[in-house]
């Protein structure tokens, strides 16, 4: 477990006290209009110190991008005070606090759609989820989407976060621009592989310029990536590696690999013996810090993953036991909780509606 306790210094100068990350969690407890609630703050304050870096659940960058009811917003300046309180609570025990930013694109559910249809790169309906056929964004709307992300990054800086994570995974908007399934455009924002990467590359490039101009302190820019898609045509591991090769020179600070199981093999090439994380780690060769996530609960998994990744992220485990890190690093692993009951919810600062809806998941 020694590596788990190792500090890590990013190139921008920020340091984590260990190699554990709180994965983004959707707890659906924000106020109407996307304002941060007292329940949000209590949840993250309880998990301050649970990991070296805490990443929020997704904050939407514009009103038409909200894909979860009860999530908080980074879309307007009046959200900054609440986000500032959230960042302060998250950082209260010396760990880094990262705001994850997203737009749902074609995955915005019907009850949250603004207007008639959700906005996406192309009018291609998703193959999963109860969603509508989207409207293809005009060139002007693509530029407005980029500006919405940049404005949200500016708000994160003002609110005191240590960085932002661009949610380019889980089939949301940024990934939709990358994917040959969801992006059938014929202009500069789609068609060829080069053009499909343009949105992500432009966003990262512009974000670095904005951060340099506005942040008076070191500030991280991370990227969450789904390495593959199961759709046909869909993103392959090769596509994702090509994207990362082009994002590294732009100054990206880390990549967060979104996987159901952190040690899983390729979905598109299952006969490969090496895990997806291992393949990406070999190709990147230490040039970009990697966060591995997905079903991690055991210290044996952590030890194995930290041989090929720089960080491990936990979601469910830190939901049910925010003191996991303290226990496993002080010879108290036998005391780790693998689930929780209703009597535990208050002590874990779990929002009531969320805990009620997720009861069986939390029980383990």
pLDDT per residue as tens digits for the range 254-309: 999 999 999 999 999 888 889 999 999 999 999 999 999 999 999 999 999 999 99
State the pLDDT at residue 266: 95
User: CB burial class (10 A; 0-12, 13-18, 19+) of residue 77?
Assistant: exposed
**Predicted pLDDT of residue 123:** 98
Instruction: Give the pair of three-digit tokens for residue 158.
Output: 């003002």
pLDDT digit string (tens) for 233-257? 999 999 999 999 999 999 999 999 9
Distance CA 157, CA 217 (A): 9
State which residues form the domain around 279: 3-326
Residue 296 placed within a domain: yes
DSSP β-bridge partners for residue 168: 225
Q: Name the packing angle between helices 237-247 and 198-214 (round to 10°).
A: 30
Cα–Cα distances in angstroms (integers) from residue 319 to residues 137, 314, 363, in the given order: 37, 9, 11
Examine residue 117 and state whether it is found in any structural domain, yes or no: yes
Summarised one tens digit per residue, pLDDT across range 212-238 is: 999 999 999 999 999 999 999 999 999
Q: Residue 70: its pLDDT value, please?
A: 96
Read off the pTM.
Answer: 0.98
CATH number for position 95? 3.20.20.70
pLDDT of residue 362 exceeding 60: yes
205 HSE (CA, 13 A, CB side) = 8
Tell me the torsion sign for CA atoms 45, 340, 100, 105. Answer: negative
**3-state class of 291 per DSSP?**
strand
Q: Is residue 146 part of a domain?
A: yes
Question: Is pLDDT above 70 for 1?
Answer: no
* Neighbouring-strand partners of residue 136: 120
**Contact by Cβ (8 Å): 83, 36:** yes
148: its two tokens: 């919405």
DSSP 150-212: HHHHHHHHHHT-SEEEEEE-TT-HHHHHH-TTT----STTSSSHHHHTHHHHHHHHHHHHHHH
- Residue 344 inside a domain? The answer is no
Pairing of strands 15-16, 8-9: antiparallel
Residue 349 lies in a domain: no
DSSP SS3 for 20:
strand
42 vs 48: CA distance, rounded Å: 10
Positive/negative CA dihedral, 154, 152, 94, 297: negative
Measured CA to CA, the distance from residue 17 to residue 322 in angstroms comes to: 16
Segment 149-196, tens digit of pLDDT: 999 999 999 999 999 999 999 999 999 999 999 999 999 999 999 999
Residue 334 lies in a domain: no
Pick the residue with more confidence: 232 or 1? 232
Sequence length of the chain is 364
Question: Is 332 among the domain residues?
Answer: no
Number of domains in the chain: 1
CA gap 63, 83 in Å, rounded: 16
Contact (Cβ atoms closer than 8 angstroms) between residue 17 and residue 54: no
> Is 205 buried (19+), middle (13-18) or exposed (0-12) by CB count in 10 A?
middle
Q: What pLDDT does 131 receive?
A: 97
Q: pLDDT averaged over the chain?
A: 97
Query: Is 359 contained in some domain?
Result: no
- The pLDDT score that the predictor gives to residue 273 is 87
Could you write out the DSSP letters of every residue in 82-93? HHHHHHHHHTTT
């Amino acid at each position: 477990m020694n590596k788990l306790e190792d500090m890590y210094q990013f190139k921008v100068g920020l340091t984590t006290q260990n190699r554990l990350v709180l994965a983004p969690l959707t707890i659906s407890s924000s106020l109407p209009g996307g304002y941060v609630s007292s329940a949000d703050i209590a949840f993250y304050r309880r998990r301050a110190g649970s990991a070296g870096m805490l990443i929020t659940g997704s904050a939407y960058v514009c009103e038409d991008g909200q894909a979860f009811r009860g999530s908080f917003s980074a879309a307007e300046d009046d959200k900054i005070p609440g986000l500032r309180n959230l960042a302060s609570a998250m950082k209260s025990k010396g760990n880094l606090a990262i705001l994850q930013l997203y737009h749902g694109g074609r995955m915005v559910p019907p009850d949250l759609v603004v207007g008639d249809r959700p906005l996406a790169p192309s009018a291609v309906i998703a193959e999963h989820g109860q969603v509508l056929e989207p409207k293809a964004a005009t060139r002007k709307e693509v530029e407005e989407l980029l500006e919405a992300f940049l404005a949200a990054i500016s708000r994160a800086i003002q609110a005191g976060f240590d960085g932002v994570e661009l949610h380019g995974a889980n089939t949301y908007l940024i990934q939709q621009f990358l994917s040959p399934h969801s992006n059938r455009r014929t202009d500069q924002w789609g068609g060829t592989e080069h053009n499909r990467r343009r949105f992500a590359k432009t966003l990262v490039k512009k974000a670095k310029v904005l951060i340099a101009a506005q942040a008076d302190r070191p500030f991280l820019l991370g990227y969450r990536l789904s390495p593959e898609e199961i759709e046909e045509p869909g993103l392959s591991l090769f596509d994702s590696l090509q994207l990362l090769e082009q994002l590294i020179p732009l100054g990206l600070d880390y990549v967060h690999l979104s996987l159901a199981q952190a040690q899983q093999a390729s979905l598109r090439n299952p006969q490969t013996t090496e895990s997806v994380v291992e393949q990406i780690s070999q190709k990147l060769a230490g040039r970009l810090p990697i966060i591995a996530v997905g079903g991690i609960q055991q210290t044996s998994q952590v030890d194995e993953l930290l041989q090929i990744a720089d960080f491990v992220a936990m979601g469910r485990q830190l939901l049910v036991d925010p003191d996991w890190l303290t226990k496993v690093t002080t010879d108290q692993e036998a005391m780790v909780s693998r689930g929780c009951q209703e009597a535990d919810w208050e002590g874990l600062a779990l929002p009531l509606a969320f805990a009620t809806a997720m009861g069986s998941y939390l029980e383990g």
